[in-house]
Amino acid sequence: MTLAIGIDIGGTKIAGAVVDELGEIVAADRVPTPTDPVALEDAVVAMITSLQAAHEVEAVGVAAAGFIDAAQSTVYYAPNIDWRNEPFREKLEARVGTSVVVDNDANAAGWAEFRFGAGRLVSDMVMLTIGTGVGGAIVAGDRLFRGGFGAGAELGHMRVVPGGYACGCGQHGCLEQYGSGRALMRMANAIADAGGIGQRLAKARAEHGELDGRIVGGLIEEEDPGAIAALRELGHWLGEASASLAAVLDPQRFVFGGGVAAAGELLLAPIREAFLEHLPARGYHPEPDFVIAELVNDAGVVGAADLARVWVADHRPARAE
């Protein structure tokens, strides 16, 4: 059974794993993410070298947040790393002596769910990762969609409210400002300010100085009315956006990952409601499934490794007859 290495570069940590053809992790490692790009490259090379020393692998896949070109080679732009038109694949291959592919982190997570997780029984799937921001991945006809330049499926930057909240991308009204973990905190604070059902949110904020994901998540688990109201508002925006995506992509399944997805059915219920409310030709349009991602924190490394394996298979020279 062939093995591949998956590397997932996050804002605070770099995770790495040796992954087999079934998506099972054979060995794993993680280190803090250096802030300096040169030190980050060194850390990735050191991790790959360490994993290679104990396992024979055919390729390495690297997942990172940002715009990656269609050749899975150059990072056009990374929001959390000082990379601009960075030839990361070329640099890594020169140092590790193995085929390397680079892909967007949400693409890698979505591909992992499609191949080995919540999307494995369908051919067309949309995944939304609900964390600090909103990431996206699209699989259409069993293939990962990247777009003509490689920077497609940035679903968090669909405009849902013209002239709405300012987004870090430079525009206003993006889904990321209404369907992310940051948006959930804004909604929870607004409910706390209003009193009434927001009393426990207001009390928690007074005790801790501010609301954070852990506090609001705990109140959601306890089904506090104020925290649930904030989650339902978030779910409404995600459901409305999903209806627009369904009109264009017609997926069989929507998969939701990221930290906020830990709320499970409490999140999915308002998403389904808003989806049906805004679905074009409701009653005549087949309705997709809405599910929570299964691979959680392993999705990035598993997906990156499998995308590397797919790349090698697609580029392997044909045998002479």
pLDDT at 27: 97
Backbone angles phi, psi at 59, to 5 degrees: -165, 165
E strand or H helix at 75: strand 75-77
Please check whether the two domains, 3-110+297-315 and 122-293, share a CATH topology.
yes
pLDDT of the residue at 45: 97
Question: Looking at domain 122-293, which of 3.40.50.1460, 2.60.120.10, 3.40.50.970, 3.30.420.40 is its CATH number?
Answer: 3.30.420.40
pTM given for the model: 0.93
Give 283's pLDDT tier (boundaries 50, 70, 90).
Answer: confident
Question: Within a 13 Å sphere around the CA of 114, how many CA atoms are in the beta-carbon half?
Answer: 30
pLDDT at residue number 82 = 86
d(CA 186, CA 85): 34
Q: Give me the amino acid identity at 217.
A: G
Instruction: Assign 319 a pLDDT band (cuts: 50, 70, 90).
Output: low
Identify the architecture of domain 3-110+297-315 in CATH. 2-Layer Sandwich (3.30)
The answer on pLDDT for 120 being more than 90 is: yes
pLDDT (tens digit, 9 = 90+) per residue, 174-193? Answer: 999 999 999 999 999 999 99
pLDDT, tens digit, 9 for 90 and up, residues 46-96: 999 999 999 999 999 999 998 999 999 999 988 878 899 999 999 999 999
Other residues' Cβ atoms within 10 Å of the Cβ of residue 13: 11
The per-residue b/e assignment along 183-195, b for 16 or more CB within 10 angstroms, e otherwise, is bbbbbbbebbeee
- Within 10 angstroms of residue 3's Cβ, the number of other Cβ atoms is 19
pLDDT band at 169; cut points 50, 70, 90 = confident
The encoded tokens of residue 169 equal 């991308």
Per-residue model confidence as pLDDT tens digits over 155-165: 999 999 999 99
Mean pLDDT of the chain: 94
Q: What is the pLDDT of residues 221-238, one digit of tens each?
A: 999 999 999 999 999 999
* Of 200, 207, 205, residue with least CA distance to 224: 200
Domain ranges of the chain: 3-110+297-315, 122-293
On whether the CB atoms of residues 105 and 64 are closer than 8 A, the answer is yes
Sign of CA dihedral 256, 257, 260, 265: positive
Does pLDDT of 260 surpass 90?
A: yes
